[in-house]
Structure 1
Amino acid sequence: MNMKIQYWIYAARIYTLPLSFSGITLSFVISRNRTNVDFSVYFLCVLTALLLQILANFSNDYGDSISGVDNFQRIGPKRTIQYGFISLSEMKKAIYIFSVLSSISGLLLLYKTILWNSFFTFFIYFIGIFICIYSSIKYSVGPHPYGYKVGMGDLSVMIFFGILSVVGSYFLYTQTLSMDIFLLSLSIGFLNIGVLNVNNMRDLDNDSKSGKYTIPVWLGIKYAKLYHICIILTSIFLGACFIFLNKKNNKVIYQWFFFIFIVIFLILHIKRIIFIKENKLFNLELKKLIVLILLYGFSIEIGFIL
């Protein structure tokens, strides 16, 4: 029984889960600095995002196993269905369960925030919840998974891990929209696309043989690395724009100091990506970039807290 739980934890890909709440936490800290925000709203945002992320990871394990993308030539971490740790039927049940849990958590979030304020806004978010659930599953499940089409995975990451994560949660916290928050959401979104791109560069050869047409498969490794450089630099530029728009004359040195400190590590990340020769070495950079995204958000949060 304990071993089975271990397999489910492994299938949830714990190391990827911080990506689901980093943008939500960042917008929460900024919102708290601008207005009063109920902590329970933040908790429900994080819970919903985590459930959706686990749903996506389970669906990815299920879909890639059926399509044959998960095979023994794959360089990435072991997949639970591929190695027989979890059966297809068990994973299918888990996908149903987490779909229901995500729905319940999302509806509780709406009830807590905008149910009584605006029917139109409630309706938009209500539809949005089910689009998120549908997209989490259909990324890699079904006869035509959109994650297997050029650029669609990158676009979905920008929408769900960038714009919706930051702007969507910010609106729930404050009931307002802001251009600087939108720029920040794009910055976080591009960093998350970077994670996907590192993952896809690692799996380029196997994806190409299996019919999964990611950006690296389309561009080739040389131009995929150039694409990665553009992603990270664009994110840094947008983050700098956000800090400039929110500069505090008596604290501006702290705002820039923490931001630039993390940017140095992002530049070093770019350098390492450029000189990687073996695809398996992308695994370490993938995990490092996830940590850097957390620290990147934290560096901006510190500028608001101090």
Structure 2
Amino acid sequence: MKLKSWFYAARIHTLPLSFSGITLSFVISKYRTNVSFIAYILCIITALLLQILANLSNDYGDSITGVDNSRRIGPKRAIQCGFISLLEMKKAICIFSILSFFSGFLLLYNTLLYKNIFIFFIYLIGIFICVYSSIKYSIGPYPYGYIIGIGDLFVLIFFGIFSVEGSYFLYTHTLSMDIFFLSLSIGFLSVGVLNLNNMRDLDNDYENGKHTMAVWLGIKYAKLYHTLIILISISLGGYFIFLNQKIIDYYQWFIFIFIVIFLILHIKKIICIQEKKLFNLELNKLVILTFLYGFSIGICFLN
């Protein structure tokens, strides 16, 4: 029963966001050069540990601040339900912080230590920042997830730029502008997931001093913001495909457009939603669509 509670607290359904960008950059890297599969596995493990750490920290932090209460529309959290105590969650956060850093260190040891010691230490600082940011989104006197726009920016950086461009560099030891555009594309979809979460809990967040973009904009303009995020993501993804059109076949364009149609339908659904609890279903859909979107782009590099 306790194990089931920890799986619940980890929010397994959100974890595809962690490996969407990393898997996409690996597939592209594998096409362009010789890449270590071990590096990919270590990237995946580190990303999953960091996201679980963020989810556990969010559960703990929102419980402490009172954001998780009976008025919250989203799924009840583990502490809120009484499945896990505050002390148990605090210990779990410490454990996952150590595991995340250790996994990240192994990744850097495997990919950078004997190739570029300077970049190794830069990335090591980056791992510290990732662990710290995973915790501080909701925990501490000034959690950045409670500040207008900062949570969205950090999601764009960590789930987009770090996930795609950062892992691409670890695989290939080079930077690429087209991969940067792609990283923004994946990042904006992840920001969309966060925005759905914030639109759903807009009223409760406002009452408890959590100043998200949705709270600041209001539901009408938060929907417009969401629409813009998705359209920018699609445009950047299309631009990446255009830059690599020499290796794109017609059937691969078809798969990409097919997923884009579902994203457009998702936007239409968001605009029409009146009951905030319905955002839950679209949130889960967007997580899956983000993974499939990455797949639709990466499939052309599977040769």
The SS at the match of 2:142 is coil
Contact 1:194/1:232 (8 A) holds in 2:
yes
**Partner deviation per Cα, 1:58-109 (whole Å, 9 max, x = no partner):** 0000000000000011000111111211000000000000000011100000
The equivalent residue for 2:276 is: 279
Work out which of the residue numbers 300, 303, 306 in structure 1 matches 2:300.
303
In 1, the alpha carbon distance for the partners of 2:221 and 2:101 equals 40
Name the aligned partner's letter for residue 209 of structure 1.
E
Q: How far off its partner does 1:220 sit?
A: 0.3
Contact 1:158/1:190 (8 A) holds in 2:
yes
The equivalent residue for 1:229 is: 227
Structure 1 runs, 4 residues or longer, greater than 6 Å off = none
Contact 1:254/1:303 (8 A) holds in 2:
no
In 1, the alpha carbon distance for the partners of 2:220 and 2:38 equals 46
**Once superposed, what is the RMSD of the aligned Cα atoms?**
0.8
The equivalent residue for 1:252 is: 249
The equivalent residue for 2:68 is: 70
State how many pairs are aligned: 303
Work out which of the residue numbers 117, 120, 123 in structure 1 matches 2:121.
123
Gaps of 5+ in 1: none
Name the aligned partner's letter for residue 12 of structure 2.
I
The SS at the match of 2:182 is helix
Work out which of the residue numbers 198, 213, 216 in structure 2 matches 1:215.
213
The reply on whether 1:290 has 2:287 as its aligned counterpart is yes
In 2, the alpha carbon distance for the partners of 1:302 and 1:63 equals 39
Q: How far off its partner does 1:254 sit?
A: 2.5
In 2, the alpha carbon distance for the partners of 1:305 and 1:106 equals 27
In 1, the alpha carbon distance for the partners of 2:205 and 2:34 equals 47
Q: TM-score, normalised by structure 1?
A: 0.98
Q: How far off its partner does 1:252 sit?
A: 3.2
Q: TM-score, normalised by structure 2?
A: 0.99
Contact 1:258/1:303 (8 A) holds in 2:
no
Work out which of the residue numbers 97, 122, 134 in structure 1 matches 2:132.
134
The SS at the match of 1:37 is coil
Gaps of 5+ in 2: none
Contact 1:243/1:255 (8 A) holds in 2:
no
Q: Percent identity?
A: 74
**Partner deviation per Cα, 1:166-193 (whole Å, 9 max, x = no partner):** 0000000000000000000000000000
In 2, the alpha carbon distance for the partners of 1:219 and 1:192 equals 19
Alignment of structure 1 residues 1-306 onto 2, 5 Å: 3-248=1-246, 251-305=248-302
In 2, the alpha carbon distance for the partners of 1:303 and 1:272 equals 30
